[in-house]
Amino acid sequence: MTTESVLEAQARPKRFADLFAHRRWIRRSDPFPHVYARDVFVPEYFARMSEDLARVRRESPDLFQQVAANYSADGIRLANLRGTAFDVFASREWHDLVAGIAGVTATGDVEGSVHHHAPGAPYGWPHNDLNPAWFPGEPPSPDEVRLPADSVDIKSGQREAGVLARESIRAVAVLFYFGNPEWQPGDGGETALYNNLSDGEKLPELTLIPPLDNSLILFEVTPRTWHTFAGGNIKDRNSVVMWVHRTKDDAVARWGGDKIVYW
């Protein structure tokens, strides 16, 4: 059963709050706890996202890379989208908002990119996102965020001698859908959420989240937050995929070190 309640998303300061169309975000309990929202940003700001992405793809196509081996999406990192409408996702205000909604003490480390699946993309593989990442430098101050950098391998932490880096663990996942106009049931490209995959005792039940423009799903990353790209899209499918992080000590204390999924 799904439990719905009104979430008053506390967005400050005013220039940040004014980007949002409303404060009514919905908490759902099935198939695992998550937050869902429609019409997230005001129309003027939302329209800029597709425009900015098209411009960057036209002017700097080399910035778009395959997201992962054997995965159908190409993507561009948030760090390569500075000065665009996507800056909101790399802001401290957004970091604090989503961490607060999930009830997580986050580090200021933000990992994310825009993903694009061409038509006919295959089904992805189920995963729970409980993965580490490495970030450069000292922990960010309370008004900063830290993004991954080429000086430190995000998965392994490999770096040149003398380069400072920190390992943290994904704490809150956000999937924001855009660039999918007039999506209809049957168009494919949903995100599949599973009620359970780790026990292996029964076939999991799944919930399909449609990639409706200007909508999002947000959840605290746990050992049970199994999900995947459902594939079968008949049109281009676009989304922002991002995480805010918690300290490794916090993740180990909460879930156990054996639950962290290393690359």
Share of residues in the chain with pLDDT > 70 (%): 93
Q: How far apart are CA 137 and CA 151, in angstroms?
A: 10
Structure confidence by residue, pLDDT tens digits, 7-27: 454 556 889 999 999 988 999
Q: Concatenate the DSSP letters of all residues of 38-59 into one string.
A: SS-B-HHHHHHHHHHHHHHHHH
- Structural domains of the chain sorted by starting position, each given as residue range(s) with its CATH number in brackets: 6-259 (2.60.120.620)
Structure confidence by residue, pLDDT tens digits, 204-258: 789 999 999 999 999 999 999 999 999 999 999 999 999 999 999 999 999 999 9
Largest CA distance in the chain: 53
Q: What is the pLDDT of residue 201?
A: 58
Nearest to 27, CA basis, from 11, 7, 55: 7
Tokens in use for 95? 């970091």
Q: How far apart are CA 40 and CA 233, in angstroms?
A: 23
Question: At a CB cut-off of 8 Å and minimum separation 6, what does 169 contact?
Answer: 130, 131, 132, 133, 221, 245, 246, 247, 248, 250, 251, 260
Share of residues in the chain with pLDDT > 90 (%): 86
Q: What is the pLDDT of residue 8?
A: 54
Q: How far apart are CA 125 and CA 122, in angstroms?
A: 10
pTM (2 d.p.):
0.94
Distance, CA of 44 to chain centre: 22
**In this predicted structure, which of 1-10, 60-69, 117-126 has the lowest mean pLDDT?**
1-10
Question: At a CB cut-off of 8 Å and minimum separation 6, what does 40 contact?
Answer: 20, 21, 46, 176, 214, 215, 216
Structure confidence by residue, pLDDT tens digits, 157-191: 999 999 999 999 999 999 999 999 999 999 999 99
Q: How far apart are CA 84 and CA 63, in angstroms?
A: 15
